[in-house]
Amino acid sequence: MISLKDHEDSPEKTLQEKNHHPQEENNHSIEHEHREHPEQGHSKHGEHKENKRTEHEGHTEHLKQDHTKHEEHVEHEHKEHLEHDEHPEHNHHDHHQAMMADFKKRFIISLIITVPVFFLSEMVQELLGLHFLSFQGDIYILFLLSSFVFFYGGYPFFTGMVGELKVRQPGMMTLVAVAITTAYIYSAGVTFGLMGMTFYLELVTLIDIMLLGHWIEMRSVMGASRALQELATLLPKKAHRIGGEGKVEDVPLEHLQVDDLVLVKPGEKVPADGIIKEGQSYINESLLTGESKPILRSAGEGVIGGSINGESSIKIMVEKIGEDSFISQVVSLVEEAQESKSHTQDLANRAAFWLTIVALSGGLITLLVWLGMLGQDLSFALERAVTVMVTTCPHALGLAIPLVVAVSTAISAKNGVLIRDRQSFENMKNIHAVIFDKTGTLTEGKFGVTDVISFKMDDFSEEEILKYAASVEKESEHPVAQGILKSAQETYPIKDFHSHPGEGVQALVGDHEVKVVSPAYIETNKLEITSPELVDIRKQPKTVVYVVIDGEAAGAIALADVIRPESKNTILKLQRQGIQCMMLTGDNEDVARWVAEELGLDEYFYRVLPHEKALKVREVQEKGYKVAMVGDGVNDAPALTQADVGISIGAGTDVAMESADVVLVKSNPADMVTILGLTKATYSKMWQNLLWATGYNAFAIPLAAGLLYSWGILLSPAMGAVLMSLSTVIVAFNAQLLRINKI
């Protein structure tokens, strides 16, 4: 870690000695509790994974206690399907898609059946004056319709209750299951002779609301990581393998073997990790290593599978394939980071746990008090107990969180922010540090012109110097040439273009002989240059080329990875909120220091390899910081999943986006400030809704139990239903108020 305050005497720490993993197994998500890892055979990680799996099995019970109750229900209902799928990482996404569709289907069908139940209910008929809808035997129709909703719509809650009770953590599922079962059994008893009042309408509407809440929640938070699948797409499907007689044949990637000779044409992806045996070319490794500009690779040097070849053909000897390859190692790192990521327990589930205790104990106490101590008959005592049970399970609590999530998700989308993981998004309010990737995040990830200097302003303006250089460079494929060409507004026609490897390029532009050359050419030919500006630029980590016109040095052009104009303001705003701003990069120290000083960063890391990025994030976390990581490349994926909140730049790779919890669609780091404002407002609304939903219970439960019976005040089941509906409306309205909050 390099601090700008003391970077001269604080060299970068090596992290190989810290390649251990803190004991975070008790926070694993259910997604990974039952996953099988296709990379089990990794020599580098196999032993560690086996140890982790052993510890995992030894803590199964404790693990489950930390999972959200909804996930427990999902796992319980579909466990068998998961165990038999050959591709668990793909199955997890399909599994949640199926579960979301299942909740939607059950909700719609149950809602349709609720319509006749609504109009056949005695309470509705009395309130709306619809007595003509009643007929002899209608109570049995009500029973049949409600029975269907109870068994069909209530099924997910029964299976969820089983999952919760297995780990001795009753929560929302148990609360709903107990309430609807009590209401159903009591109502069925009244239908067939027991004195009392039916709860069929309360029963079906409660099931409808809870199904809707779970559907909204799943729809808002679904987006399971497909990073492992996306990584595979970085490699080409076929490779040009060179046979014994020099014959080139296209073969599927899986047919490649170690020591195969492969031809990589200009612009193609390198099919496997290997060594260049013939040729040289600029290789773009930015997605894999974070290096901002293409690197010249020659015979004898290594190349990474998935990197992009430049303007020349090269022949490489395959060195690593399959699980030993660079990309496979990144796959392993992404998996490990996903597994070690902690998840906060849903606030609604915590509230539901205590409400379950209150409901069960309150209902039992109500029954015993009225039946035993106060001498009421069984019918009255049962009605009071059931009223308590139904009232304790508020519709509002089921929607308190999902509605706020749905609204905040819509707001964030309009602001160019996609929320992929709700819990991590909520954690944004607690972050102490933001670690930015450099290339493509704080910078544009493009090799562009930063400075243009004219040595002869009387003859050539800076604009003309750039225009002359771009005119000559438009015939070249060199990265410097492409950077100059993109920065020029227009070019002149040229003729007699020549390229001189190691020196530069030249051509005739009108009547002038124009050369764009390297510093070595200037030194060799002893061309005179006097420019104070150039002295300062040479101290910066920039590439400088010179423009020679008619044999005289006329100007210079400096190029670098261009810093995004909005980056500095973003850093400043975050620091004003007390958040430490740091940077990770695969570039060298000079480049890292220059960017850090330009932006006013607190700390930075340089020459960080992909496996070190996740470790660097962990190192910051071990200091007690809650960390948000912002990145865009494949090399950022493990770090994004290791961070408490992973944020991907939208213009980045699919891998980075699928590994992230939040995606900045507009590729604007300034949206970090928007996220912070939104997450704080969202969390505030969640608490308001939870306080209202639970506060309603604190008021309604004593009335439902008959505490004020001696004063003539008794909460009827019908009034309990009205209060529940009113509570739901208030929660829904409060969630919508989030739209008018200033983010």
Query: Are the C-beta atoms of residues 700 and 391 closer than 8 Å to each other?
Result: yes
Q: How far is CA 91 from the centre of its chain?
A: 18
Measured CA to CA, the distance from residue 663 to residue 643 in angstroms comes to 14
How big is the chain by its Cα radius of gyration, in Å? 33
CA atoms within 13 A on the CB side of 81: 14
Q: Which residue has the tokens 């190989």?
A: 16
Q: Which is it for the CA torsion 284, 287, 289, 292, positive or negative?
A: positive
Instruction: Find all residues with CB under 8 Å of 97, minimum gap 6, and list them.
Output: 222
Measured CA to CA, the distance from residue 236 to residue 383 in angstroms comes to 69
Element (H, E) at 274: strand 273-278
Measured CA to CA, the distance from residue 612 to residue 588 in angstroms comes to 15
Measured CA to CA, the distance from residue 359 to residue 390 in angstroms comes to 8
Mark 54-72 as b/e (b = at least 16 C-beta within 10 Å): eebeebeeebbebbbbbbb
Q: What is the DSSP letter of 500?
A: E
Tokens of 182: 């009590």
Measured CA to CA, the distance from residue 270 to residue 609 in angstroms comes to 19
Terminal C-alpha separation, the chain: 33
Q: Catalytic residues, which ones?
A: 437
Compute the CA torsion angle 518, 521, 527, 529 (nearest 10 deg).
20
Measured CA to CA, the distance from residue 383 to residue 190 in angstroms comes to 10
Measured CA to CA, the distance from residue 634 to residue 289 in angstroms comes to 8
